[in-house]
Structure 1
């Protein structure tokens, strides 16, 4: 590999991570409190709570799948680049065929 190839750095800062975690926590607490104080029967409240839980777990699963797909694409691109660099390094345009 060439010397200009670096390991991918984390695109998120600590502040962005903290903001995302805080935002998620506030949204989850607000939804939970909203469902808890909703003036409806307990079975409706339970249905909404299960729906919210399902939404949260599905969002985590989707985020993981997207991240995994992105990582797979990045690894494949790096492998292809390394192969191309190796072929270019081994190629000698002045060599005569058969020698």
Structure 2
């Protein structure tokens, strides 16, 4: 098996997960506080809050779609690799050709 055929495994460490979660929480809290103390009318605050909520949900959706696409690609590669390995295992180069 070649190095290209192996799928790289990149498990997320606990430290990286914690950093990402804390970073997301700080950004979301900062944005919420910024919108709350903004010296504008309440309808402007509501508009900005809805926009921020939409941005957050769109980011989660995009992350899920990217992850799902990567998982689908990985599974397809595994299936293709298994088919090739099966064909190679069943192939007998010394068998007479049957026409």
When normalised by structure 2's length, the TM-score is 0.89
- Alignment RMSD: 1.8
Q: Which whole-Å deviations, capped at 9, do the CAs of 1:21-68 have from their partners, x for residues lacking one? A: 000000000000000000000000000000000000000000001100
Could you tell me how far apart the structure 2 residues matched to 1:76 and 1:7 are? 11
Structure 1 residue aligned with 2:95: 95
Q: More relative contact order in 1 or in 2 (CA 8 Å, sep 6+)?
A: 1
Paired positions, count: 94
Structure 2 gap segments, 5+ residues each: 1-5
What is the CA–CA distance in structure 2 between the aligned matches of 1:49 and 1:8, rounded to whole Å?
40
TM-score (norm 1): 0.89
Tell me which stretches of 4 or more aligned residues in structure 1 moved more than 4 Å. 6-10
Look up the match of 1:24.
Answer: 24
Give the gaps of 5 or more residues in structure 1.
Answer: 1-5
| 2:3 matched residue in structure 1 | none
Instruction: Give the match for residue 41 of structure 2.
Output: 41
